[in-house]
Amino acid sequence: MTLRALCAALALTIGGLCHAATEIIPVNYRMADEVLPLAQSVVGDRGRVAAYGNQLVINAPEPVIEELRSVLGQLDSPPRRLLISVDTQRHGSSQQRGYQVDGRIGSGSVEIGTGNPGRDRNGARIIRHDTQSRDGGVQQVQATEGYPALIQAGQSVPLNQWSTDAYGQVYQDTQYRDLMRGFYATANVVGDQVQVTISAKNDRLSPEHSRELQLQNTDTRVSGRVGEWITLGGIDESASSSDHGIARRYSTDSAQDYSLRLKVEVLD
C-alpha cells in the first residue's frame, strides 16, 4: 500500500470524527514498528495510527496529534552511549587440623607401630594447614542504549581420559573443552534508573583438580540506579571431612564464595 492510499484509508475509517486531520510524524532514532504500540495507546479510540517505513501516519483531532507528538518527542531521542562493567569475585579458603603420633611399642615378640614406622624415635605431629585463594576482575564494554553488547574471552583446554579397548589395551583420548568468560547485556536508561538484561559466564579449571572444570552461568534481568553497583547473585559453598584412627585424627574444612555484580554509567 502506498503512503497516499494509507492516508486515505485512515481518513475514511474515522470519517465520523469531528475536525480530524491526517498527518505524518517521522521517527528519527527508532523504528516506527517499535513505537507503534505506544502511539496506539496514546491515540486510543480517538483516531487511528499506522506505521509506514520510519514514519507514523495518524488521523485524529489536532489535540490528539499534538499529544502524540509530545510523547514521541520524549521517546524518540538519540540512544545514549553506555559503559557496562561486570565485576566477578571468587574467594576460597581451606583449613586442615589434626594430629598424628609416630612411634612403636612392643612387648616380647609383639610390636605395634603407628604413624611413620620408619622413625627412630617416638613423637607426635600437630597438623595445621591454612590456605587462602582469591581471584576475579572487572570486565567493561561500551554499548549503545537498547542494543545488545557482547564481551567474551576464552580458551580451549585439553582433557585427557584413559579407556580400555576390547582387547584390554589402555589408550588415551584427548578432548578439548571451551572455557568462556564474559557477558552479553542489553541496558535501557529511564531517568536515573537502568534496566539490564544480562547473561554472564565465568568458566575455569578447578585449582584443586586440573582435570575438573568449574562452569558458572548467570541469566537475569535487574534494575537499579545509574552509576551504582547492582548485585546479580552469588554462590556460597562449604564442605568438611574428617578421618581418624589409632593415634591420628584429621579434619578439613573448605569454603568457596562467588559473587557477581554490574554497573552501568552514561558516557554521553
Q: Which helix (H) or strand (E) holds 170?
A: strand 170-190
The torsion angles phi and psi of 74, rounded to 5 degrees, stand at: -80, -35
CA distance 45 to 245: 84
Range of the domain at 7: 3-75
Instruction: Report the domain count for the chain.
Output: 2
SS3 28: coil
Residue 109 clears pLDDT 60, i.e. is over it: no
The verdict on 50 and 128 lying in the same domain is no
- Mean pLDDT for the stretch of residues 157-164: 73
Q: Are residues 171 and 98 in the same domain?
A: yes
Are 246 and 124 found together in one domain? yes
- Among the candidates 27, 52, 75, a domain finishes at 75
Instruction: Kindly state whether residues 13 and 126 are assigned to the same domain.
Output: no
**Which one of 52, 75, 98 terminates a domain?**
75
Question: Is 171 found in the same domain as 113?
Answer: yes
Region of 15 please: left (phi>0), alpha (psi -120 to 50) or beta. Answer: alpha
pLDDT surpassing 60 at residue 256:
yes
19 and 130 inside one domain? no
Backbone angles phi and psi of 188, in degrees to 5: -130, 135
Provide the mean pLDDT of the chain: 77
DSSP 29: S
Statement to judge: residues 117 and 52 lie in one domain: no
Alpha carbon distance 175, 172 (integer Å): 10
Same domain assignment for residues 25 and 61: yes
Q: Which three cell numbers stand for residue 169?
A: 589395551
Consecutive H or E run containing 190: strand 170-190
pLDDT, tens only, 13-71: 544 445 678 899 998 887 888 888 888 999 999 999 999 888 999 999 999 999 999 88
> Are residues 215 and 112 part of one domain?
yes
The pLDDT of residue 54 is 87
Q: What percent of the chain has pLDDT over 90?
A: 16
pLDDT in the model for residue 1:
56
Q: What is the CATH number of the domain that holds 46?
A: 3.30.1370.120
Residue 140: all three cell numbers together: 567493561
Range of weakest confidence among 32-36, 130-134, 205-209: 205-209
pLDDT 10s digits, 66-101:
999 988 888 778 888 999 998 888 777 777 777 666
Least confident of 63-72, 90-99, 201-210, 216-225: 201-210
The per-residue pLDDT for 11 is 53
Q: Are residues 126 and 190 in the same domain?
A: yes
66 and 139 in a single domain? The answer is: no
Whether 117 and 184 share a structural domain: yes
State the sign of the Cα–Cα–Cα–Cα dihedral 30, 69, 18, 2.
negative
Q: Report if pTM > 0.75.
A: no
Given 56, 75, 94, which residue is the final one in a domain? 75
Pairing status of strand 193-202 against strand 170-190: antiparallel
Q: Most confidently modeled of 122-136, 147-161, 205-219, 221-235?
A: 221-235
The Cα 224–Cα 98 span in angstroms is: 48
Evaluate whether 131 touches 120 at the Cβ level (below 8 Å). no
What is the grid cell recorded at 220?
A: 537475569
Q: What is the pLDDT of residue 10?
A: 54
Pull the grid cell for residue 252.
Answer: 578439613
